[in-house]
Amino acid sequence: MTNTFLKIAIYQMSAAIDAKTYTGRIKAAMHRAKSEGADLLIAPELAMTGYGQGEVLRDLAQPTDGPWVQEFQAFASEIDIGLVAGFPERDGDECYISAMCLHRDGTAPVIYRKSYLYGDYEKSLFQNNSLSTVITEYEGVNLGFLICYDVEFPENVRRLAQAGAEVVIVPTALPKGPDGHHIASRVIPVRAYESQVCVVYANHADADDRFHYQGMSCAYAPDGSALVTADAEGETLIYANIDTAAYQASTERNPYLADLGRMEQA
């Protein structure tokens, strides 16, 4: 029987803590999440390094078979919990804002590269990737991936939903302010509702030397309801119990994907 349930831990990381501690803190969060019965932990955009380190990020960037991926894949298998975490990826002379998805059963890592870079800061450091539809089955549930600004384009979530994603995972570094509050509290639930998927959004909180982050990590269901939300400040670990079979009635009331498919075939 196909599994429809995942317990997902969302790790909202404080940017005010020394960035050199980030990898150790992610491992500690994985341990805590595992002790609470979570199947998968989601960490923010560029979680391995912190978002606001500037040019140093290019020096720290690693390939998809580098030490971070290898170390955390082994760790995920050892303690029996999956991980999605952002990192700066190096591919030759180019660097990308990427996310690794590591299965706890040792399945080959899945890598997603951010398509839409936000602002001069990101564009000065990283290469944008072409639009990509990255989906992996994680213990019977289809996960799709976006990073931060990607999710603010409804077409990206819709593309994943049409390809079969049931949960869209979004590591982010959303900045603090009226726009950030609006995105976390209003745009994310609308993205879930309009494409009838769960959206899981993992942000930084507090401030580093360059940026102040919105926090407000969250997970929303296909019917637009909040599964879990975090405060705007402070490091925290929150949990979302996702049962994809529980939202069939919402999909029947709001058959956007089915109707869109029929119109496209007409």
Give pLDDT tens digits for 50-91. 999 999 999 999 999 999 999 999 999 999 999 999 999 999
**Which domain does 9 fall in, by range?**
5-265
Active site residues: 45, 114, 148
Mean pLDDT over 192-197 rounds to 98
Q: How many domains does the chain have?
A: 1
Burial of 159 (0-12, 13-18, 19+ CB in 10 A): middle
Q: Please give the model's pTM, rounded to 2 decimal places.
A: 0.97
**CATH code assigned at 55:** 3.60.110.10
* Residue 211 exposed, middle or buried by CB count within 10 Å (0-12, 13-18, 19+): middle
User: How far is CA 228 from each of CA 104, 151, 207, 224, rounded to the nearest angstrom?
Assistant: 24, 18, 23, 12
